Amino acid sequence: RTGLGAPSGLTRGQRRSAQLRSGLSLTAPLELLTVLAQVGTWHCRRGLRDAGSSLCRTEGVRALWKGNLTACLRLCPYSALQLAASRRLVTLFMDELGHISHWRAIMAGSLAGMVATTVTYPSDVVKTRLIVQNRLEPSYQGILHAFDKIYHQEGLRALYRGVSPAILGAVPFSAGSFFVYTSLDTIWQEPIVRFTPLQNFVNGCVAAAVAQTLSFPFETVKRKMQAQSPWLPHYGGVDVHFTGMADCFRQTVKHKGVLGLWRGLTPSLLKIVPYFGVMFSTFEFCKRVCLYRNGYIQSPLNYKLTPGVDQSLHPQELRELKLLRRENFKPRKSASKPTMLL
């Protein structure tokens, strides 16, 4: 529902089209630098500025797109699972009148993300392994070979190594998103329904930056757990050795300091913040278009209500009401036949 009390009328296809797909191939070098910094490979010893150049010198320019194919193949099933789970959870969290609070909506989205993450998690492990390996002396010859080799050498549990911090990281991410969303009207000193597209873009960027910063330590621990393997050279290039999630937190803070949990945050924000800004502003605009097409507002460029429209009606009810009004205003035909004058 919108803040106007009326449902937005978004169908599954409309909601899906409103969600922008990130340009994974364009942002793949930023994702690679983020993963290398989180794992702590030798490329990042002199900082992220020299990490990309040193990687290109040793493995070639194509190395900047290591693991990108895996990420692209993972995107479709992840998005489909997230959308299906989100729709189901939103329905469960609604009250008897069909309303859902912002907090419950965010929780539904977070739980849907957890479901999609758990199901598609093995592909994320494979992506990390392909990123940290040397492209000129690879341990894995491709995606399928990586799946097969990890399963037979390390067992099924290795394909889910690091899933715990991945799921736990959704909690601070949701809390950060909720905090920003509930503070928007205070920040801008006006109601949310009056925000311009530029304001919606800034809101998405701020929400993504806060949420990603709060959840980034869990992301770092997840990457270290995914990369560490006795079957890889130098244990996958991980800069600390550990026995589990809690020990990974301790060893990272002990050897790299507290800020070591946020290594790689800069390229991560450069990748995710603009995406969320565009996604948030596009979704809000698509919602306005749907409200306009259903007759709730006068124009998709603003939130001015259509005079005489009950904002609590569902789209189908509103269409039926308009049809009934048109029928009532039609001139009625006489039931008796006209007589001919002789």
228 Cβ neighbours under 8 A, 6+ residues apart: 161, 235, 236, 238, 241, 242
Neighbours of 259 (CB within 10 A): 9
36 pLDDT more than 90 = yes
287 pLDDT more than 70 = yes
108 pLDDT more than 90 = no
210 pLDDT more than 80 = yes
pLDDT of residue 151: 97
Q: How does pLDDT run across 243-272, given as a tens digit for each residue?
A: 999 999 999 999 999 999 999 999 999 988
Q: Which of 1-15, 77-91, 250-264, 313-327 has the highest mean pLDDT?
A: 250-264
pLDDT mean over 175-193: 77
107 pLDDT more than 90 = no
CA dihedral 139, 145, 150, 156 (to 10 degrees): 170
pLDDT of residue 321: 66
38 Cβ neighbours under 8 A, 6+ residues apart: 219, 220, 223, 224, 263, 264
Lowest mean pLDDT among 50-54, 163-167, 171-175, 294-298: 294-298
Q: How does pLDDT run across 159-169, given as a tens digit for each residue?
A: 999 999 999 99
Q: How does pLDDT run across 214-237, given as a tens digit for each residue?
A: 999 999 999 999 999 999 998 999
pLDDT mean over 96-111: 81
C-alpha–C-alpha distance, residues 49 and 177, integer Å = 30
Of the pLDDT bands very low, low, confident and very high (cuts 50, 70, 90), residue 129 is very high
301 pLDDT more than 80 = no
C-alpha–C-alpha distance, residues 316 and 310, integer Å = 13
Flag whether the pTM goes above 0.85: no
Q: Compare 203 and 102 and report the one with higher pLDDT.
A: 203
Q: Compare 262 and 185 and report the one with higher pLDDT.
A: 262
C-alpha–C-alpha distance, residues 93 and 236, integer Å = 42
C-alpha–C-alpha distance, residues 236 and 248, integer Å = 15
DSSP 210: H
**In the chain, pLDDT over 90 holds for what percent of residues?**
46
C-alpha–C-alpha distance, residues 201 and 10, integer Å = 20
pLDDT mean over 17-31: 65
pLDDT of residue 4: 44
